[in-house]
Each structure stands twice: as structure tokens, then as C-alpha cells.
Amino acid sequence: MAADVTPVAVPAESNTVRAEEERLRGMLEERLGIRTRVASLPGTRALLVSPLAGGMPKGLVVDRSVSAAERISLYVHLAAHIALKHDLPLITIVESRGDVTSGDEHNHRDADRLARAMWWGTSARADGRELWPGRRSRILRPLLSSRPGRIGLRVLLLVLRRLYYAARARRLLEGTAVARSLRDALCVTAVVCAAPELGAIRRYSGSG
């Protein structure tokens, strides 16, 4: 069954973030065998259903109201759950909106920690590096680790984006390293703003 994701119309959602979400969703299917679809899940952000037999596709249902940036953060979090082998046969991983239930708290905390390391490409685990293309950034990471830094950088990048289009800089910069870096920074910032736990500076020391 092909990925069946209905486009989600979130006002002012950046095309860059949406394109990145689409790319990562494809990667999730290719590398982790996760098929994604969007549905209405009041009170729940996402459900990951694992089949009885290994090697068969897993099913991910994401709530319609979840933004593209938040979906990206969900993908890296779920990739961490899989690296930690939480995706046991016939066990559903529920990403709730509220507090996680006590039984799952430990798993979600571990997944958050590993997701952060995978996101920034600092995971000590080989499978973590294989499952997710981490991005090392000595500039962005410290800036995004605090709330004021996140907000300030997001505002700055949105202003730059507006200038990029308004001043027709696009004609000059399209396809250049500058434009790519700005797009990447905008995307990383949007994701960390949606999931601040990805921005915290702590090293994941999990092994094997």
C-alpha cells in the first residue's frame, strides 16, 4: 500500500519544511518500512502499529492537525523508538498529546534522548546513524537550545525569507550554497521550535 498522506493545509507553513517532511516520510518508508497516512485523531498525535511478522510494513497514522515541522520531529522520535527496539510485534506506540502514561514514560524519555542525538548526528549508536541522516551544526545547535534563541532565530530567518522573495534575491541566489543553507536553517529551526526537546544540549551516551 503506498503512503497515503492527505496534504495538510496549515496556513503559512513553509514549502521548504513541507518538502523536507515529504522527503523524510519517503525515507521512513524506504529505510524503516513505515507507511504513513493522515487521519483525524483527537487527543492523539500519532499511532505506530507494528505487524506480527518482522519485515512487513508498519503503519503510522498521524493526526491531521499536526504541522509539517511537528511531523518531522515525530519521524525522528519514532526512528529512535525503532533503534531502541520498542517496535515489538503487535505493540502499538501511541504518541499522545497529553502526558504519557506511566508505563510508557521510560520508553518515550529514552526515545527523546536518542532522537536528539540522531537529529544532530551525535548518536554513539551505529543503528541510530544508519536510521536517520543527522545534521551536525556548530552554529544552529547552541542557538536553538534556548527558547529566546529559537524565537529570535526563527524571526530572523522568516525576515530573511521575506527579503529573499521581495528583493528578488531569488534570481541571484537560487541554487547557491547560501540559499541551501538558509533553507536548511529555516527547516531545522521550524522543527526544533515545534519540538523543543530536540534542541536541548545533552549528549546521548547509549550504546549497542
Tell me the C-alpha distance between 115 and 111, whole Å: 6
Q: What track of x and - describes contact with other proteins for positions 169 through 208 (by CB under 8 A)?
A: ----------------------------------------
Nearest approach in angstroms of CB 188 to other proteins is 30
Tell me the C-alpha distance between 43 and 53, whole Å: 29
Given the complex with other proteins, which of 40 and 207 has the nearer CB atom? 40
Contact between 72 and 191 under an 8 Å Cβ cutoff? The reply is: yes
User: Which residues lie closer than 8 Å to 71 by C-beta, 6 or more apart?
Assistant: 21, 25, 62
Q: Does 167 bind other proteins (CB under 8 A)?
A: no
Q: What track of x and - describes contact with other proteins for positions 76 through 115 (by CB under 8 A)?
A: --------------xxx-x-x----x-x------------
Tell me the C-alpha distance between 202 and 208, whole Å: 19
Given the complex with other proteins, which of 9 and 53 has the nearer CB atom? 53
Q: Are strands 58-63 and 34-39 parallel, antiparallel or unpaired?
A: parallel
Nearest approach in angstroms of CB 191 to other proteins is 24
Cα-only R_g, the chain: 17
Nearest approach in angstroms of CB 40 to other proteins is 6
Q: Are strands 58-63 and 92-96 parallel, antiparallel or unpaired?
A: unpaired
Q: Given the rule CB under 8 A, which residues bind other proteins?
A: 1, 35, 39-44, 47, 49-52, 56-59, 61, 90-92, 94, 96, 101, 103
